[in-house]
Structure 1
Amino acid sequence: MNILIVGSGGREHSLAWKIKQSPKVKEIYIAPGNGGTASLGQNIPVSVDDIPGLVALAREKNIGLVVVGPELPLVLGLSDALDRENIPCFGPGAYAAQLEGSKAFSKFLMAEAEVPTAGFKVFEDFALAEEYLKARDYPLVVKADGLAAGKGVVVATDFAEAREALHDMMVKQVFGKAGETVVIEDALQGEEASFLAFCDGHDYLLLPSSQDHKRIGENDTGPNTGGMGAYSPAPVLPQEKYEETAHQVIRPIIQHLAEMGRPFKGILYAGLMFTQYGPKVLEYNVRFGDPECQPLLMRLESDLVEIMLACVEQRLKDVTLKIRPEAGVCVVLSADGYPKQYKKGHVITGIDEAEKDSLVKVFHAGTSFDGSNILTSGGRVLGVTALGQNLQEAISRCYTAADRINFQGMYMRRDIGQKGLEKT
C-alpha cells in the first residue's frame, strides 16, 4: 500500500525509516518531510495544518494508511476528515486529541477516570487566578491550556514568578489563544519517564519506558527545548512495573474514552513523574515523542505498519510486540542559539561516516537537501541514535558517532542517559 507520513522532524524520519522496512509498503510520501525523509520516499510540500490539502493528497496518491507525526493536525481534526473519506489514519480524532490540545480537558478527564495526577485549578480570568496564586504555597506549575510548542509550562518558585507567567499567558498573550485559559497545579517532585502505548480504542500494547531530556544545558539547566536526547529503557520504570503502571495511567483513559463513544486509536503517551506516592501523570500526548520515538523504533523488531493497521482496525489483541533487548540512546545535535535565535543553511558533513556502525542511525530533524549537500534548516538538526548491549555501551556508541558529524555551530548535551546509569 501507499503510506502518507505527516510531519517534518526527526520523529517523522524515524517513522519513515521503520515503515520502509515493512513488506506491506509500496510508496511512502511525507508531507512536508525533510532532507532525510527525501531518501526514503517523496516529500510533498503540504503543511501539517492544511487539513483539506492533506486529505486531497491522500486521495490523489491512493493512500492506504496515513501516519500522523505531530499533534497539531490531530487536534485540528485530520483523523476525522480522513475517516469521512474512508482513508485509514493512525492517530486519534479531534475529541480525544484534546488530551494534548487542551490541558484543562486533559486534567478534567484524568479526574473523571481517576488517574493519579497533581491537584489543579483552571482559570479563564486573570484577576481570579492572581488571587489564587497569592494564597498558595510554592513551587507551583502554570500552564497555558492550548498548544504552545512545548513552551507553555512554567514551574514557578514564588508568587512573582508565577504572576509573571500568568501575565505573559493571559494578558500579553505570548502564546496567543493557547493562554486564554490557564491550568495552575501543584508541582510534583521526583524523576520523569515517558510511557507510550499503541491503542486500538479498547486494547493496548506497551512500548518500553524511555526518558526525554528537555532542557538545553547539561544537568538539566537552561530553557526547555523540544528535547535534546532520550534513552530507553528508563530504569525508573522497569519492565516488571509496566502492567501495574499501565493499569493506573493508560487503561483508565482508554476505557473512559471508549465508554464516551470516543475510542482512542493511535499512540497514547503518558508523561509520568515518579513521586514518593507512586507514578503521577504530568501530561498526555497523543503521538510519538520526539526524540523518544527514535530509540523506541530502533528497538522495535515488529512490523510497524502491521501494528498501526491493527490499531486502526481494532484488532490489537491479535498482535504481539517484539522488542530488541538492547538499550537505545538518541542524542540531538542542535544549532547554536537554539531554542532561541539560530542560523540556517550550514553544510552538514560526516553523516555517512557516523552510520558506518550498523547499530547507529542518524535521523534528520531540521535539515534540507539542495541537490548536492545536506544543510541545516532548523533548531534541532539531527538525532544520532544507537543501540548497545547495555545503556553505557549505547551511550558510548552514540557519542562516538555524533563526534564524526560536523556543521558550523553544532551543539549537543554530553550527559544524555546519565540518570539511567546512576540507577543501574
Structure 2
Amino acid sequence: MKVLVVGKGGREHAIAWKLSQSKDIEKVFVAPGNDGISIENKCECVRIESIEEIINFVKNNNVDITIVGSEEYLANGIVDKFEESNLKIIGPNQKAALLESSKIFAKSFMKRHNVQTASFNTFVNLKDALEYSRKASYPLVIKSDGLAAGKGVFICNSYEDSSRAINELMKEEKFGESGKKIVVEQFLKGFEASVFLLMDGQNYKFFNVSKDHKKLLESDQGPNTGGMGAITPHPDIDEKLMKVIFQKIVNPTINGLKEEGLLYKGFLYIGLIIEEETPRTGSRKNTPNGVKDEPYVLEYNVRLGDPEAQSILYLLKSDFIDIINDMEKERINTTNIEFYDGFSLCLVLSSIGYPFSYTKGERITIKPGITSKIFYSGVKKDGENLLTDGGRVLSIVNKADTLEEVRNIVYDEAEKIHFESKYYRKDI
C-alpha cells in the first residue's frame, strides 16, 4: 500500500513512522512534511501544500488512502474535495470539522445534546463582550471562535485581563478572522485529560486517554501552547472515572453526531477537565452517584492531538494500517487494538520565546546512544546539518513499566540533544 499523511509536524511524523513499520506499507508520503520526517524508512516528504496539488499527487501516484493530521486542511474542506474525486481519506468533512474549527458551533452542539461542559456566552460585538466581562465573576475563560493553533485561549482573573484578551482577539485581530467571534465561559478548576475515539462513519471505538500539558511553564503556568508533553495512558484516570466520562461525555457526543449526520471516518479528540471540587458546594464525594470527580468538555478536536499522537502511537502494539483500513471499511467496532503495558511519555523541546517570537536556524546536535524515539516538528536541513525551524522543534518519546522509570529515561536523554535556545518543561 501507498499512504499519504497530510501535515508537517510531530504528529504527522509519528503517524508516518508508525505506518512505515507495517509489512503491508510500501511507501508513506507526507505533504508537506519536514526534513526530519524524510529520514524515516519508507517515508518521503512531498513539498506541496494546496488541496488541489495534493489531490493531483494522490491520483498520479496511485496512493491508496490519505490520512489528514492537520486541522487546517480539515477546516478547509479537504475531505469533501477528496470524496468528490472518489478518493479514500480519513477525516471529517467540512461541516463535521466545525466541531473544532468553531468553538461556538461546538459549544452549541454540546448544549443541544446535553454533553457536560462549562456554562458559556458567545459574542460577535466588541462592545457587548467588554460590557459582559465588566460585570462577570472571575476567573473566566475567553476563547477565539476559530483555529488558533492551541493559543487562542485566555484564562482571565480580572476585568483588566479579559479586556486585554478581548481587544487582542476582536479589535487587534491577533488571530485574524479566528478571533472576531469569541466564547466566554465559566472557569473550571481541575486536571485535564485527552480522550481519543476512532470513528468509521457508523461505529466508534475507544482508542486511549492521555495527559496533555498545554501550558508553557512548570506547574501549568504561563501562556497556552500547542502542547509541551504528554503521558499515555493518563495516570489519574481510573475505570470508575472512565465510566462517568462515557456516560456524561462520550455517549451523548456520539448520539449527537449520529442525530446531526456528523459521524465521520477519523479521529475524535475530546479535551476534558476533571473538576475535583466545586467552589459552591465543596467536595463531590456526596453526590448521588458517589462520584467525586466530574468531567466537563473543554473542546473537541477532529484529528489526533500533538503531542498526544506521539505518545499514543509509540505505545501502540497493533499494526496502525489495520486500524486505518477498518475505519475506512466501517468495521472499527470489531477491531482488536493492543497497546504495550506501562506508560509512554512524550517531551517537547521548543525554542525559547515560543509560543510568541523565537529564533530559527540553530544547529541541532544529538549525542549517540539515545534510545528514545525523536519526532521532528520544526526543523530543516542545511547540507548535513539539521536546524531549528519552528517554535516546537522536536519531541522525544519512550516507554517503560512505570511512569517514574520512563520519566528518568526521557529527561536524561533530553540532555543529550542540544540547540542554543532549547527549552522544555521539567514536570511532564
TM norm. shorter chain > 0.5 = yes
Q: Counterparts of 1:51-70 in structure 2 under 5 Å?
A: 51-70=51-70
Change (3 A) 1:194 1:37: same
Q: Which amino acid aligns with 2:374?
A: V
The Cα of 1:20 is off from its aligned counterpart by: 0.4
2:55 and 2:367 mapped to 1: Cα distance? 34
Change (3 A) 1:381 1:351: farther
Residue 209 (structure 1) aligns with:
209
The Cα of 1:240 is off from its aligned counterpart by: 4.9
Q: Which amino acid aligns with 2:52?
A: P
Q: Which amino acid aligns with 2:423?
A: Y
- What is the count of residue pairs matched by the alignment? 410
The Cα of 1:148 is off from its aligned counterpart by: 1.4
Q: Is the 8 A contact 2:153 2:224 kept in 1?
A: no
Q: Which amino acid aligns with 1:42?
A: E
1:88 and 1:12 mapped to 2: Cα distance? 18
2:417 corresponds to 1:401: no
Change (3 A) 1:52 1:352: farther
Deviations for 1:349-392, whole angstroms, at most 9, x for unmatched residues? 216531xx2xx211111112234122211111110101011100
The Cα of 1:23 is off from its aligned counterpart by: 2.3
Residue number among 370, 377, 397 corresponding to 2:382 in the alignment = 370
- RMSD across aligned positions (CA): 1.5
Q: Is the 8 A contact 1:330 1:385 kept in 2?
A: yes
Greater shift, 385-394 or 22-31, is seen at: 22-31
Q: Counterparts of 1:7-406 in structure 2 under 5 Å?
A: 7-40=7-40, 41-47=43-49, 50-275=50-275, 276=277, 278-350=294-366, 352-354=368-370, 357=371, 360-406=372-418
Q: Which amino acid aligns with 1:396?
A: N
Q: Is the 8 A contact 1:364 1:382 kept in 2?
A: yes
Change (3 A) 1:284 1:352: farther
Residue 280 (structure 2) aligns with:
none
The Cα of 1:24 is off from its aligned counterpart by: 2.3
Gaps of 5+ in 2: 278-292
The Cα of 1:243 is off from its aligned counterpart by: 4.4
Q: Is the 8 A contact 2:344 2:406 kept in 1?
A: yes
1:374 and 1:253 mapped to 2: Cα distance? 43
The Cα of 1:116 is off from its aligned counterpart by: 0.2
Deviations for 1:64-84, whole angstroms, at most 9, x for unmatched residues? 111111111001111111111
2:15 and 2:106 mapped to 1: Cα distance? 26
Greater shift, 319-328 or 332-341, is seen at: 332-341
1:316 and 1:243 mapped to 2: Cα distance? 21
Q: Is the 8 A contact 1:386 1:397 kept in 2?
A: yes
3-state DSSP of counterpart to 1:114: coil
3-state DSSP of counterpart to 1:128: helix
3-state DSSP of counterpart to 1:255: helix
1:116 and 1:305 mapped to 2: Cα distance? 33
Deviations for 1:26-54, whole angstroms, at most 9, x for unmatched residues? 1111111112210231111112xx22122
Q: Which amino acid aligns with 1:302?
A: S
* TM-score, length of structure 2 as denominator length: 0.92
* TM-score, length of structure 1 as denominator length: 0.93
The Cα of 1:343 is off from its aligned counterpart by: 1.7
Gaps of 5+ in 1: 417-424
User: Percent of aligned positions with the same letter in both sequences?
Assistant: 39
Greater shift, 15-24 or 201-210, is seen at: 201-210
Q: Which amino acid aligns with 2:419?
A: F
The Cα of 1:342 is off from its aligned counterpart by: 1.7
2:342 and 2:236 mapped to 1: Cα distance? 17
Q: Which amino acid aligns with 1:209?
A: V
The Cα of 1:330 is off from its aligned counterpart by: 0.8
Change (3 A) 1:273 1:141: same
Q: Is the 8 A contact 1:201 1:254 kept in 2?
A: no
The Cα of 1:271 is off from its aligned counterpart by: 0.7
